A and B are shown apart, each in its own frame.
Chain A
Amino acid sequence: MTAALSYRLVIRSLPWLTIGLLSLPVFSGLAGALAPAFGWLPALGGEQLSLAPWRELARVPGLNDMLRLSLVSGLGSAAISLAVVVLFLGSFLQSPVYRRLRRWLAPLLAVPHAAAAIGLAFLLAPSGWVMRILSPWLTGLDYPPDFAFPGDSWGLALILGLVIKEVPFLLLMSLAALVQCRADERMTVARSLGYPPLTAFLKTVMPGLYPLLRLPVYAVIAFATANVEVAMILGPTTPSTLAVAVVGWLHDPDLTTRFMASAGALLQLLATLAALLGWWLMERLVVRLSRGWWQDGRRHCGERGWALVARWAMRLVLGLMLLALAGLALWSVAGYWPFPQSLPWPPTLGNWQNAADGLLSPVAQSLAVALGATLLSLVLVLGSLEAETLRRRPLRPGAQLILYLPLLVPSVAFLFGLVMLQAQLGQQPGLLAVILGHAVFVLPYLFLSLAESYRRLDPRWAQQARSLGAGPWRVFMGVRLPMLLAPILTAAAVGFAVSIGQYLPTLLLGAGRVETLTTEAVSLASGGDRRLTAIHALLQLALPALGFVLALLLPRLLFRRRRGLLLSH
């Protein structure tokens, strides 16, 4: 086989493998949940189709509250996050505030959901850091007050926890979209016509920006309505959100509960679809209502007030995140720390020493899963992007949708179905299943972070190399990969961080045999040991941070005498 032929075969097959990895688990998972939901699961003695699981589900006390909680916290957090991002971008897009913030986005995004949620819980709880700082001089309290947080029945803590993670995500997604819709030009034209920044942004940039942000926003809604770990840590318990309840039913020792749980998983899918549909209808309405406003010539929309709101909302979001992480660090070195002391004094390393032995295994498992999933995804993504250069055109819109498929279908629904399939087929859960499960979520993020740089690389580099006699493999390995090393490593660090943060695929596909830092941290969070929980959450944070540091330093080290390469990215 010639090199050119092997290149074509390999590179042309990788996009199909990518599509397979993204869509097969989702569709077979949904099918795997569908059958038991209607009573069919021979492995557990269900051999007749019936509606009994749905009737049983309908009788669950508080089902309506569960649904309402899932929908309100999901749609609410998405709406708040989008509003904060839009107002902030509108007010500060062409100002230094925005440029300063940009640098912090990737590391903020790398904070796992569970770690952020645990930090927030420890920060705002009645005996949390904020109360300790304010007491007794402001509040007059010598004992922790009595309010339910986290876990308030309105789900406010849950909404807050989702918002502090979704705002950085939407901002990061906007970065590429803003370039793509030529936001700077639009702003400049509108501002030269006398529109102040926010009005200029809302009237000229948003109509071009939102269509590019639509899929990320839908992914946020899907995650927020159906996530498990944030809702377990910050959400109310009686009743919990639907997704948390479904996972609980799955782990019910009474195996027959699984039929009802399957129906619950499908109900979660329907609920998320309903939320997306509702959002889409709102979109239509907003577009209709604002069409006249775009061209009515009015130059103001109260932008001073909104800029103030945006600035403080962003400060609050970032401040809460940073304080939450700092609080975790304090708890991890706290000895005896009575309320209302602001700082644990003297700090001790004893917690870390006691925990050290037990940390080895989860750290090793986390690393094994994350490295495996990242490597697999990286190969598939590089292949898919290289295939684009072969066909000389970017992804079709349909393929873009496949990329978002695992982010739009509630993971609890299709992962649950995969567990049912495992049971039916007698497959052993374990490390390999977990790695594949993680890759389903790692791949889209890795692709999204790398695609821009890959597509932007001037095609003349490859042409120059080929006219010098380099075949396609050599162009790929000897020109494209080294020239793109920095963005490739950054994308790998993003993928690695996503994997470290995964909770549900590890829990469900590993069936307790794979215990990562994240599964440990989430299960510890419901217990009382704040010190041990904080240590797990901090390590959960440290691994992705290490990945980003390596991704930043390695190219600088390897290419320290190659200025052209470091400047261009």
Chain B
Amino acid sequence: MATLHLDNVQIHQGQQLLLSLDTAIAPGEIVTVMGPSGVGKSTLLAYIAGFLSPAFQASGQVRLDDTRLDTLPAEQRHLGLLFQDPLLFPHLDVEGNLAFGMRRDGRSGERRERIRAALASVGLEAFARRDPATLSGGQKARVALLRVLLSAPRAILLDEPFSKLDAALRDEIRQWVFERVRDHHLPTLMVTHDEADARAAGGRILTLSAA
């Protein structure tokens, strides 16, 4: 697995410098970016993932080892993005959602087999044909992460991923997500304003302050 490099990344809004960051995230490492709301945490993720709004200007480079990402269209960056909402496509069933992100190579039987195996690994094997709207919050969160993992990402970006979960569920899902990304040896960047998230991640913590 490759290391995710953020080389001298600076994001401006007009004349104003919003944030600057220079770091590298090793495979399996979870780096947390913290800061109060409005400081541009989500803008950073949007930039890395390829969705920066034209209102902002960015400089610097995003690399996976030697592959430069910031010049590629979003769909070719292979960065798994997880929002605070699970965003399971409402017009597809659970299986369809998981298949959406998978590469098209391989027979459809194989693809289906991998989906079943992935669902079975989280105890959701009976849910393949279910309408995502009928899932519980915790189940949706799990399916959303499975979808990202099945798309064979080369790094993971987490955008306040646990803030909308019930307090009781939050710890459990959090541990589960972190275990998975470590198992897959994926460099992971999480932005959050919740210190419990940062503590649970157990990695480096970078704090953005209002510039």
State A479–B88 Cα separation when bound (angstroms): 11
Question: Is there contact, CB below 8 Å, between B101 and A564?
Answer: no
Shortest CB-to-CB span from A3 to chain B, Å, is 10
| B85 contacts A460, C-beta separation under 8 Å | yes
Q: In chain A, what residue has the closest Cβ to B74? A: A466
Minimum CB–CB distance from B126 to chain A (whole Å) comes to 15
Segment from A304-312, A335-343, A427-435, A468-476 that makes contact with B: A468-476
Q: Report whether B100 and A470 are in contact in the complex, using a CB–CB cutoff of 8 Å.
A: yes
B77 adjacent to chain A (CB < 8 Å): yes
Binds B, one of A186-194, A229-237, A441-449, A555-563: A555-563
Determine whether B147 belongs to the interface, using a CB cutoff of 8 Å to chain A: yes
Indicate if the CB atoms of A467 and B74 lie closer than 8 Å.
yes
Given contacts A465-B100, A471-B75, 10 further A-B contacts (CB under 8 A): A458-B87, A463-B49, A463-B51, A464-B83, A467-B74, A467-B75, A467-B81, A468-B148, A479-B89, A562-B90
Residue of B nearest to A555 (CB): B91
| Majority secondary structure, B binding face | loop
Q: Is A482 an interface residue (CB 8 A)?
A: yes
Report the contact-size class of chain A (Cβ under 8 Å from the partner).
20 to 34
User: Can you name the residue of chain A whose Cβ is closest to the Cβ of B80?
Assistant: A467
Cβ of A478 < 8 Å from any Cβ of B? yes
The residues of A that contact B151 with a CB separation of less than 8 Å are 468-469
Q: How near does chain B come to A6, taking the closest CB pair, in angstroms?
A: 14
**Nearest chain-A residue to B55 (Cβ)?**
A392
| A565, B91: Cα distance in complex, Å | 6
Q: How large is the interface on B (under 10, 10 to 19, 20 to 34, 35 or more residues)?
A: 20 to 34
Which residues in B have their C-beta under 8 angstroms from that of A464?
Answer: 81, 83, 87
Across the interface, which residues of A come within 8 angstroms of B134, CB to CB?
563
A20 to B53, CA, bound (A): 29
- B19: CB under 8 A from chain A? no
> Is B131 among interface residues, defined by CB-CB distance under 8 A?
yes
Inter-subunit contact A563/B131 (CB<8 Å): yes
A295 contacts the other chain (CB 8 A): no
Cβ of B206 within 8 Å of any chain A Cβ, yes or no, is no
Choose one: B50, B81, B91, B132; the contact of A482 (CB below 8 Å). B91
Interface residues of A, Cβ cutoff 8 Å to B: 4, 392, 458-461, 463-472, 478-479, 482-483, 485, 559, 561-565, 567-568
Q: Is the C-beta of B14 less than 8 angstroms from some C-beta in chain A?
A: no
Q: Which residues of A contact B78 (CB under 8 A)?
A: 469
Query: Beta-carbon contacts of B72-110 to A below 8 Å, as 1s and 0s?
Result: 011111111101010111110100000011010000000
CA–CA, A567 and B46, complex, Å: 29
Contact A563–B133 (Cβ < 8 Å): yes
Query: CA A559 – CA B54 in complex, angstroms?
Result: 36
User: What are the residues of chain A within 8 A of B101 when measuring CB–CB?
Assistant: 468-470
A460 and B83 form a contact (CB under 8 A): yes
21 CB contacts below 8 A, A to B, read A4-B73, A392-B53, A460-B87, A461-B87, A461-B89, A463-B49, A465-B89, A466-B73, A467-B49, A467-B75, A467-B79, A467-B157, A468-B100, A469-B78, A469-B103, A470-B75, A470-B101, A478-B100, A483-B89, A561-B93, A562-B133
**Structural contact, B91 and A466, CB atoms closer than 8 A:** no
CB distance from B64 to the nearest CB of A (A): 14
Nearest CB in chain B: distance from A396 CB, A: 15
Which residues of A have CB within 8 Å of B83?
A: 460, 464
Q: Report the separation of the CA atoms of residues A4 and B76 in the bound assembly, to the nearest whole angstrom.
A: 11
Taken residue by residue from 140 to 153, chain B's Cβ proximity to chain A (1 for < 8 Å, 0 otherwise) reads as: 00000001100100
Question: Do A564 and B132 touch across chains, with their CB atoms under 8 A apart?
Answer: yes
Residues of B within 8 A of A458 (CB): 87
Per the bound structure, the CA–CA distance linking A562 and B133 in Å amounts to 7
A468 close to B90 (CB less than 8 A): no
